[in-house]
Amino acid sequence: MPLPDLDALRAAAATVHAVFGPTPQIHWPLLSARTGAEVWVKHENHTPVGAFKVRGGIVHMANLRRERPELAGVITATRGNHGQSIALAARAVGLAATVVVPHGNSVEKNAAMRALGAELVEHGHDFQAAYEFAAAEADRRGLHMVQSFQDDLVAGVGTYGLELFEAVPDIDTVYVPIGLGSGICGTIAARDALGLQTRVVGVVAAAAPAYALSFAAGRPVSTNSADTMADGMACRVPVPAAVALIARGADRIVTVEDGEIAAAMRHYFTDTHNVAEGAGAAPLAALVKERDRMAGRRVALILSGGNVDRAMYAPILAAEETP
């Protein structure tokens, strides 16, 4: 799969910005003091669904409605943010949306998807099981299956990279969390389209290392589990097209423990008073881990979302802060 070029990214941005404006990128002095780098945060927690995924959903649904006007409905699988994206975007173009989530999924993300008009179905023990069920239901019910990784989703989410790189010059390194890979691939696309030398660093959870293993091996490597508190990164079967694009365009992948992610969630609240979900905080955890390596450099962090349940967030926030 080719990466979207600058024309494709600008067209996607026009579609996204017809629904909501660019999110801010803010230099936070306390984060800079904590890490020793000049830290800029791209606030994808400030979109209408509190996460970056909505950009891809808006672009995909606009394309789908134009190309298949007869279509009645769509179905997808998610741990939450992708599902909110598809629910909002489908409703905007008059399509019914069914969203399949695994049992035990985020209560608050489930409520948000229902509030956006989605039919919510709970099935399976993890994302992969939910995905396989959704694909079968698409065939049985004649629905369009929305993948979590495809070209117009990458173009859509790549618009946050375009906004960031055009707003902040000379970024040395940008840290991006990896779920199924649309975010990091979109960031690579924006970097390449603008002809920049910025290093793109992926971040995965130690308990969900499929993309780190795949990057090291140069081919997709699945795992038997993805049991991390960062549900946005809880992938155990990587997308081959994403693996290939990341292998070509990423500088490295950093693995962080759940405890480091939780500490970064606290750091975001202490230093910026923003709420970051696990995947959203992972890039900061990676920068803290690489503090010596990145000292003095201009660094961007993708705060990909802030959708964390209160029951999970409260004890994390109450835990003793680390230096």
Same domain, 170 and 263: yes
Same domain, 24 and 141: no
CA distance 226 to 131: 14
The whole-number average pLDDT for the span 54-81 is 92
Same domain, 313 and 184: yes
CA distance 151 to 132: 20
Residue 36 has pLDDT above 70, yes or no: yes
Same domain, 12 and 73: no
CA distance 229 to 256: 12
Same domain, 204 and 294: yes
The whole-number average pLDDT for the span 138-154 is 91
> Does any domain span residue 1?
no
Q: Of the candidates 97, 127, 145, which is a domain's last residue?
A: 145
The pLDDT tens digits for 95-122 are: 999 999 999 998 888 999 999 999 999 9
> Does any domain span residue 323?
no
DSSP state letters, 105-162? --HHHHHHHHHTTPEEEE-SSSHHHHHHHHHHHHHHHTPEE--SS-HHHHHHHHHHHH
**Res 323: pLDDT:** 56
| CA-wise closest residue to 162 among 207, 126, 131, 198 | 198
Q: Of the candidates 102, 119, 145, which is a domain's last residue?
A: 145
> Which of helix, strand or coil describes residue 27?
strand
Same domain, 23 and 47: yes
Task: Provide the whole-model pTM.
Answer: 0.93
C-alpha distances (whole Å) from 82 to each of 41, 100, 157 are 21, 11, 11
Q: Of the candidates 110, 145, 180, which is a domain's last residue?
A: 145
CA distance 291 to 298: 12
> Does any domain span residue 41?
yes
> Which of helix, strand or coil describes residue 309?
coil
Same domain, 184 and 132: no
> Does any domain span residue 102?
yes
> Does any domain span residue 36?
yes
**Res 127: pLDDT:** 83
The whole-number average pLDDT for the span 265-282 is 97
Sheet containing 96-101, strands listed edge to edge, beginning at the edge strand earlier in sequence: 119-122, 96-101, 73-77, 144-145
> Which of helix, strand or coil describes residue 169?
coil
**Res 210: pLDDT:** 96
CA distance 53 to 153: 8
The whole-number average pLDDT for the span 294-316 is 96
> Does any domain span residue 303?
yes
Residues 6+ apart with CB under 8 A from 240: 220
> Does any domain span residue 279?
yes
CATH code assigned at 258: 3.40.50.1100
User: Sorting pLDDT into bands at 50, 70 and 90, what band is 47?
Assistant: very high
Question: What's the number of domains the chain is made of?
Answer: 2
Same domain, 286 and 141: no
Tokens of 90: 């489908």
The whole-number average pLDDT for the span 25-40 is 98
Same domain, 123 and 178: no
> Which of helix, strand or coil describes residue 175?
strand
The whole-number average pLDDT for the span 251-263 is 97
Residues 211, 195: contact at Cβ < 8 Å?
no
| CA-wise closest residue to 89 among 56, 122, 137 | 56
Domain containing 24: what range? 6-52+151-318
- Share the mean pLDDT of the chain: 95
> Does any domain span residue 287?
yes
Same domain, 168 and 308: yes
Burial of 256 from C-beta contacts in 10 A (0-12 / 13-18 / 19+): buried
The whole-number average pLDDT for the span 193-203 is 98
Same domain, 202 and 140: no
Same domain, 138 and 211: no
